[in-house]
Amino acid sequence: MKILILGAGALGGYYGGLLQKGGADVTFLVRPQTAERLRKEGLRIRLQQGWYESPVKTITRKATSDIFDVIFVTCKAFDLEGAMQAIEPMVGPQTAILPILNGIKHIDILATYFGQDHILGGVTQFLVNQDKDGSILPTFHGAGGQRTVFGEINGQESERCLTLLKIMKKNMPDTTITAKIVEELWGKFIGAGASFSVASLLQARAGRVAATEIGRRVVERVYDETMSVCAAEGYPRPEAMKINFLDNLWIKKGSDYGPSLLADIENFRKTEGEHVVGDLVKRGQKHNLEIPLLEAALCKIELYENNLK
């Protein structure tokens, strides 16, 4: 099975590196400057048992006509259009495209572009960061562990998923296939949407929020608004998810937890706020829901993004 990883950032480097560590045939599609860095320094991932360091195969855009069996798409949501154009020459009749992005609307975008039969759904429940020197640094918060779930959008079992699962489990034992990947995607959307909204509103890490008197109430209301949107769309979630969101993520004293959007704000980078919180707000408005905190969060994101221009 030939595997292409779009990008060698935090998540792409993590998946590609561990797949390669397990013996998979992995190639990274990267920009020329990243290809040069990887040529000189290789890939470096901090694991619980120590560092994994290895040279990797790279290609740059339009530098190959190879067709791949599986393509991991791990870019930021705002780079999706360029990513689709970059991988298009490498998509054959049987290629599976596995996006692991925040949000939910990328599934429809990819299916429209490539055809639904090419698209798998994927969800990860942990954070991965990348140091300034390119090192990949996984961090684990809450009850997600090192969990990755993927599957066919139509819920059917497939040989391609079973083959990929076998490869991934060598170094990612928490990986599973599910027939309910769409529900998993919505569950992740609820968590990411609420977390991004809290981060954009409060712009503080969890420990600081937990230390305030009103923090829990604000976080809970943001979560409830997010849940109301997803329930209106037909995807309610159990109360246990709310408890985990509060007690194991945002209202945990001393925690340095913060979603990727917060890290982007802290480092003055473009965010995925419009693609996640903006999507939530549009869906809520479609159902005529009262979602003042989500709308305020989106306004904060827009103000921040406008200041970057």
Same domain, yes or no: 273 and 238: yes
SS (H, E, C) the chain: CEEEEECCCHHHHHHHHHHHHCCCEEEEECCHHHHHHHHHHCEEEEECCEEEEECCEEECCCCCCCCEEEEEECCCHHHHHHHHHHHHHHEEEEEEEEECCCCCCHHHHHHHHHCHHHEEEEEECCEEEECCCCCEEEECCCCCCCCEEEEECCCCCCHHHHHHHHHHCCCCCCEEECCCHHHHHHHHHHHHHHHHHHHHHHCCCHHHHHCCCCHHHHHHHHHHHHHHHHHHCCCCCCHHHHHHHHHHHHCCCCCCCCCHHHHHHHCCCCCCHHHHHHHHHHHHHHCCCCCHHHHHHHHHHHHHHHHHC
Which of 135, 150, 179 corresponds to the end of one domain? 179
Same domain, yes or no: 158 and 234: no
Same domain, yes or no: 17 and 136: yes
Which of 179, 207, 227 corresponds to the end of one domain? 179
Same domain, yes or no: 83 and 216: no
Check which CATH number belongs to the domain holding 202 and give it: 1.10.1040.10
Same domain, yes or no: 142 and 240: no
Domains: count for the chain: 2
Residues 181-219 pLDDT 10s? 999 999 999 999 999 999 999 999 999 999 999 999 999
Same domain, yes or no: 25 and 172: yes
Same domain, yes or no: 42 and 128: yes
Same domain, yes or no: 120 and 206: no
Q: The domain containing residue 164 runs over which residues?
A: 2-179
Same domain, yes or no: 175 and 198: no
Q: What is the pLDDT of residue 140?
A: 56
Same domain, yes or no: 20 and 166: yes
Which of 142, 164, 179 corresponds to the end of one domain? 179
Same domain, yes or no: 189 and 174: no
Q: What is the pLDDT of residue 269?
A: 93
Same domain, yes or no: 143 and 123: yes
Q: What is the pLDDT of residue 145?
A: 52
Check which CATH number belongs to the domain holding 17 and give it: 3.40.50.720
Q: What is the pLDDT of residue 64?
A: 72
Q: What is the pLDDT of residue 141?
A: 45
Q: What is the pLDDT of residue 177?
A: 97
User: What parts of the chain have a pLDDT lower than 70?
Assistant: 140-145
